[in-house]
Amino acid sequence: MSMNAITQPMTNTYNLIPLSDSLLFIRWNNTPTSKEALQFVTDLRAYLDTADTTVYTLADLSGGFIMDMGAIARLSSLSQHRNHGGGVTFGGDYRADMYVGLYERMAHPVDRHLWHPTLTEAMTDLERRFPGITENVDISQIREDAST
């Protein structure tokens, strides 16, 4: 999948924004309903299915996050997808950290210690875990996307 192909979900609850061929920015605009959370999992699976390379994720939880346990379980199953490389999250509050922790317990071991309070900490950890992944990523664009 080309990094210029931005997945347009059927809802305003989230956006999937490719930052490069191998890095996908997920912006949550609000906390999803159960139906929206399941649609997100479907959209992410479709993105991974069509990817030409391993995909890593950077998710902004400051606007919302999945709280539906069924959707979290389905999302964790994507950690086994052949094109899933791992990822990190940032933002939100203690509840975001708690729900990310539930995901971590069900997911592949590559997805551990995912939540960070700030974008800078998330980017630093992403680069530490997956060297070169943040190369040529304009952090000011992520900040702009995260604040809109």
Measuring CA to CA, which residue among 21, 58, 83 is closest to residue 141? 58
Q: Rounded mean pLDDT of 96-102? A: 86
Per-residue pLDDT reduced to its tens digit, 103-136: 888 887 766 678 899 999 999 999 999 999 998 8
Q: Over pLDDT 90: what percentage of the chain?
A: 62
Q: pLDDT at position 7, please?
A: 52
Q: pLDDT at position 76, please?
A: 94
pTM for the whole structure: 0.86
Per-residue pLDDT reduced to its tens digit, 29-40: 999 999 999 999
Per-residue pLDDT reduced to its tens digit, 62-78: 999 999 999 999 999 99
Q: Is 136 left (phi over 0), alpha (psi -120 to 50) or beta?
A: left
For residue 141, give every residue at least 6 positions away whose Cβ sits within 8 Å of its Cβ, in sequence order, or none.
Answer: 19
Measuring CA to CA, which residue among 63, 9, 60 is closest to residue 38? 9
Q: Over pLDDT 70: what percentage of the chain?
A: 86
Structure tokens that stand for 117 in this block? 């309070």
Q: Is 128 exposed, middle or buried (0-12, 13-18, 19+ CB in 10 A)?
A: exposed
